[in-house]
Amino acid sequence: MVNKKILFGFSIFLVLAVVVSFGAGILTGRSTVEPKTIFGVLNPEEGKPNEVDFSLFWDAWAKLQENFVDKSAFDYQEMLYGAISGMTKSLGDPYTIFLSPEEAKQFTEDVNGTFEGIGAEIGIRKGELLIIAPLEGAPAQKAGLRAGDKILKIDDTITSDLTVDEAVNLIRGPKGTEVTLTIFRENSDHPEEIKIKRAAIEVPSLKWELKENNIAYLKLYQFSGNAQYDFRDAVFEIIKSPAKKLILDLRDNTGGYLEVSNDIASWFLEKGQVVVIEDFGNGKQEKYYSRGYAVLSDFPTVVLTNQGTASAAEILAGALRDNRNIKLIGETSFGKGSVQELKDLKDGSYLKITVAKWLTPKGTVLTDKGLEPDIKVEMTNEDYDNNRDPQLDKAIEIIKGL
């Protein structure tokens, strides 16, 4: 059973169960199922059972079969998937989605850090499709895509009505093929078309190097399954080095597994300190605590963030600031403060369901707000064009004084 908490993003399982149980009738062709009224679906606002008249669904199903001009277009399995997708989409949460078996396979590959495409995390904020972050060394980064770029078109398809997953399916593809994104960048005068050649993507966990003789600069790219072990190895290398201070770079880190974020926070925090609060609503909360490795608890540290810092990366940044007053330098983070659980279905498809929201240890809400930096430093177009990094320069300046 798949049940992992993902930080990338129902009380309707009774309805879903009924839809699936009617699968045999759906697959036989014209519907002869007698209209039914389904009882016991709870309205969470009123707290009492509502009646859902499913005869409307079957009436629409039958009329499509009777009247649609192209009978060869009927694929009953895809129609069932479409119905479930529409049900999840109606909730208005871009992170609660249905994944067909093929999409579920692609999602698993993405989380494990290997896939073919352009290598960029995308999302929807305030109804707009945008680049959350290009991945390190991937075609998207090499082509010049940046966190915060709004995607207006994918080849000839306008993105205004696309879900994230529909956009992903259009963008990704076999290595060696090309896709053209029309993007609009803040402070630009006009949209720009960027042609990108797809490639096999393998995302690294992290890298670190020594700066200014005694400052360890650690860039954490993602919270994949291997990241916690790679981070542990890096910590032991750092403490054996001349490093006495640490810059943790979480820019363009779009998240991953909650468990990995909690594990990495434990290298900075004492045992029992709160890393994050999971808020299920209705007054129910669960706290996640540091495991207390604490090897870096005495290291003077600053954290770099930008618009591409999302989800599990925001949790780590918030935990370090709330518990140790560690300064955040750069730009406001993305604001992806919800957690999704994967629920597997009988044919290999998944439901990815938002089950809770995250709060920092001091109760700061992340959703749609993000974390404001303590020291704001923006990157200009000229900085990108000339390979300058004023955010890192400021971090080095600040850490020298600690």
Give the strand pairing for 301-305 and 327-330. Answer: parallel
Mapped to the 3 state alphabet, what secondary structure does 55-95 carry? HHHHHHHHHHHHHCCCHHHCCHHHHHHHHHHHHHHCCCCCC
| Contact of 317 with 305, CB cutoff 8 Å | yes
Residue 37 burial (CB count, 10 A): 9
Question: Which residue's structure tokens are 């999704």?
Answer: 340
| Contact of 36 with 52, CB cutoff 8 Å | no
Q: Give me the catalytic one of 31, 224, 311, 333.
A: 311
Active site residue 336: yes
- What's the rounded Cα separation, in Å, for the pair 148 and 13? 35
Question: Which residue's structure tokens are 């300190």?
Answer: 273
Active site residue 311: yes
Q: Give me the catalytic one of 263, 322, 349, 394.
A: 322
Q: Give me the catalytic one of 336, 338, 352, 394.
A: 336
Please provide the DSSP assignment of 266-329 as one string. Answer: TTTS-TT-EEEEEEEETTEEEEEE-----TTTTS-EEEEE-TT--THHHHHHHHHHHHH-PEEE
Here the tokens at position 81 are: 């998937």
* Active site positions, annotated: 311, 322, 336
